[in-house]
Amino acid sequence: MVNDSILSAKLKTFFGYDAFKGDQERIIRHLIDGNNAFVLMPTGGGKSLCYQLPALIMEGTAIVISPLIALMKNQVDAIRGFESGDDGIAHFLNSSLSRIQIQEVQEDLLRGVTKLLYVAPESLTKEENIALLKEIKISFYAVDEAHCISEWGHDFRPEYRKIRSIIDQIQPAPVIALTATATLKVQSDILKNLRIQDARVFKSSFNRPNLYYEVRDKVEPEKDIIRFIRQNPGKSGIIYCLSRKKVEEMAQMLSINGIKALPYHAGLDAKTRAENQDKFLMEEIDVIVATIAFGMGIDKPDVRFVIHYDIPKSIEGYYQETGRAGRDGQEGRCITYYSYKDIQKLEKFMQGKPVAEQEIGKQLLRETVAYAESSQCRRKLLLNYFGEDYPQDNCGCCDNCLHPKARFNGQEELSLVIELIESLPEHFKLEHLSAILSGVSNAMIKSYRHDELPLFGAGRDHDQRFWATVIHQGLILHYLDKDIENYGLIYATDEGLEFYLNPHEVMLVEDRTFSEGEDDEDDDLPSAVHGGGGGDPVLLAMLKDLRKDLARKLRLQPWIVFSDPALEDMTIVYPLSLKELSEKCQGVGEGKARKFGQPFVDLIAKYVEENEIERPDDFVVKSVATKSGNKVAIIQAIDRKLSLEDIAQARGLDMDALMTEIEAIVSTGTRINLNYYIEEELDPDVVTEIYDWFLHDATSDSLPDAIKALEGDYEEKEIRLVRIKFLCEVAN
């Protein structure tokens, strides 16, 4: 049992914080006591500390299962930055390591030095790694980004579904699953798959009060984006685009216009992706333009804006991506551009997928469309989606609340919706109900003969979108609810039936109509959105320059040296010793002060003397306020061992395009198994000979080099297939 004083002391020593945030302490104690836990905490809420601190305290090594190489390196660097002892305290084990580096990791594990080991789910399945982990004592397993388990999540990863069986092979230990975004359906998927139904669920509020949400008409978006970035010089931001082509075009356009920007997507080679990401994290560029391949778990606290050039495919994806803004609790602006053309494009992407998968995709997309077109408080809509009520009608920090739309008494309209629902012998989706009321006769309406209902066209004074809006607001008011197990079928709640029997005034918001040329001004943002700042801007600039130089020398991200809030505290407190630095500045523990602090206190001392600054004697630091579709479908089809010809036909691709997609998937470090197809299509001797060439003669994994060297003896298709097999079995 760890007492309060020890836990607080470790928190201060390792991480430099004086107090826990939200549920952190309860989660940590629960885990230390040997129990399973499921943590739902918004981005920036402090999830990683919930497993990092107990790992440093408990006996043995914590296994952290994490989806991205960049995220692992990021967190290992951070832990080593927090803790000034042996660098072996935290390691990652994945395909980016050399044989010598892997050996170092193994030695530290067997010596008992390593407290945290980050592994990719693919690495966890390797026999040699399973054998190694059986040799050490494991304190617990942490499954980060746990929404990857669920096919209902926005980034389904088949490898995540194998985690439980691997844990059972290694050794039993408590499991903590963590995610920043999960609907009730996704939560259920996670708990069942990890077999931790007994886990205590810790659900923090999904509200991020420092984030400002806005949806803009997609009229001259490039021009609008350049104007916005120029109005926010030097601030870090992410721009998300749906296609790799648009990412490249946008990054180039920004660069031409004098904005320091680089692209990031799965089609770039691994070296370029890593370099571009590091330049963003090291503040060498201001903007990264990316597909959704970028950002999961990237711990850069000072991202000041997230722009979606294209509407996201799901609310889960939108929430996760916007959550990368303002993780330090300061300014974070989330701007999304919306057009009906984007929706048509996304719907087209779904064609050719299995029917069940199309249904899931369409339902998620419909929720996103409703969010974009709604005139209600965006914070209220987001929180409702994740099963949380926002008590106020106006958050004061979204476009709809700052520019409220007209309201009307929706008593009759909501009563009509409930009357229709109750008159039908079974439940239907929102779109079907709104079509009946507006008198739209489509194939599905006719198949159920609902065009013959007494209520068909009862609300034809309004269009289908109007009735969809009424139903959405009925959901938020809890008069209606959705059956999450059955593709979102709508039913009336007990509260809704009571309202129907005893109707009363209920004020609803008119929906927003997107029109050409509409433009929201940036100047109307509430003051709460704008971040604070250091007490001395001149000193702050000097400290940031020093941090950047030191970070470059140490090959660390600047924030790992000291966070922005820590630098701002330095400009208020003017610490002249390492003791003052660790005691009076946020996020600075004794270890971090010793490791990085001396040049900072030296600079501050010189600045104080030269400018004759009178330092505050008794300053008390306040605690931090509680603040791609094709890829997935192809992976799932290969898991089902479908022929590549069938997959290509289903995706509307030719074989060359499909092979290119598979190569892009493999280049990200994802392992797939094409042996079933290779064994059917290729001569075993051909496979052996090409495989041996890659193993012994190839100087890189370059496909053009391989084709050039081998094309006289083998067909291009054979070379490409064996190269994929080699990369998955050896390189990945």
Q: Quick check: 156 pLDDT over 80? A: no
Q: Is residue 679 packed enough to be buried (19+ CB in 10 Å), middle (13-18) or exposed (0-12)?
A: exposed
CA atoms of 209 and 528, how far apart (whole Å):
9
Which amino acid is located at 199 in the chain? A
Q: What is the pLDDT of residue 177?
A: 92
CB count, 10 Å around CB of 435? 22
CA atoms of 66 and 75, how far apart (whole Å):
10
Q: What is the pLDDT of residue 46?
A: 80
Report, as an integer, the average pLDDT of 648-660. 85
CA atoms of 408 and 411, how far apart (whole Å):
9
Handedness of CA 219, 220, 222, 227 (dihedral sign): negative
Q: Which residue has the tokens 């998620």?
A: 364
Read off the pLDDT band of 528 (50, 70, 90): very low
Q: What is the pLDDT of residue 284?
A: 93
Residues 105/20, Cβ–Cβ less than 8 Å: no
Q: What is the pLDDT of residue 518?
A: 35
Report DSSP letters for 79-99, one per residue: HHHH--S-GGGEEEESTTS-H
C-alpha triplet 389, 361, 399: angle, nearest 5°: 45
pLDDT in tens, 37-85: 999 887 667 888 899 999 988 999 999 988 765 555 566 666 665 554 5
Range in 408-412, 434-438, 560-564, 619-623 with the lowest mean pLDDT? 619-623
Report, as an integer, the average pLDDT of 119-132. 86
Report, as an integer, the average pLDDT of 627-650. 81
Residues 333/212, Cβ–Cβ less than 8 Å: yes
Strands (DSSP E) contained in 293-423 are: 303-308, 332-338, 407-409
Give the CATH class of 629-731.
Answer: mainly alpha
Report, as an integer, the average pLDDT of 435-441. 91
Strands 37-40 and 200-203, bridge-based pairing:
parallel
Question: Same topology for domains 4-203 and 537-610, yes or no?
Answer: no
Read off the pLDDT band of 104 (50, 70, 90): confident
pTM of the entire predicted model: 0.57
CA atoms of 484 and 486, how far apart (whole Å):
5
CA atoms of 267 and 264, how far apart (whole Å):
8
Comparison of pLDDT for 44 and 214, the residue scoring more: 214
Q: What is the pLDDT of residue 352?
A: 64
- Please give the share of the chain, as a percent, with pLDDT higher than 90: 27
Q: What architecture (CATH level 2) is domain 537-610?
A: Orthogonal Bundle (1.10)
Q: Quick check: 216 pLDDT over 70? A: yes
pLDDT in tens, 636-646: 889 889 989 98
Residues 332/305, Cβ–Cβ less than 8 Å: yes
CATH code that applies to domain 4-203: 3.40.50.300
Q: What is the pLDDT of residue 580?
A: 87
Q: What is the pLDDT of residue 526?
A: 36
Give the CATH class of 407-509.
Answer: mainly alpha
Residues 279/255, Cβ–Cβ less than 8 Å: no
Q: Give the closest residue to 141 by CA, choosing from 203, 44, 23, 58.
A: 58
Backbone angles phi, psi at 202, to 5 degrees: -110, 110
Q: Give the closest residue to 314 by CA, choosing from 339, 343, 335, 340.
A: 343
CA atoms of 294 and 292, how far apart (whole Å):
5
Q: Quick check: 18 pLDDT over 90? A: no
Residues 369/545, Cβ–Cβ less than 8 Å: no
CATH code that applies to domain 211-402: 3.40.50.300
Ordered by start, the domain boundaries in the chain are 4-203, 211-402, 407-509, 537-610, 629-731
Range in 79-93, 197-211, 391-405, 456-470 with the lowest mean pLDDT? 79-93
Gyration radius of the chain over CA positions: 27
3-state class (DSSP) for residue 19: coil
Strands 175-179 and 37-40, bridge-based pairing:
parallel
pLDDT in tens, 540-598: 889 988 998 888 888 766 766 787 778 888 887 889 999 888 877 876 767 678 888 99
Residues 438/499, Cβ–Cβ less than 8 Å: no
Task: Give me the numbers of helices (H) and strands (E) for the chain, helices first please.
Answer: 35, 17
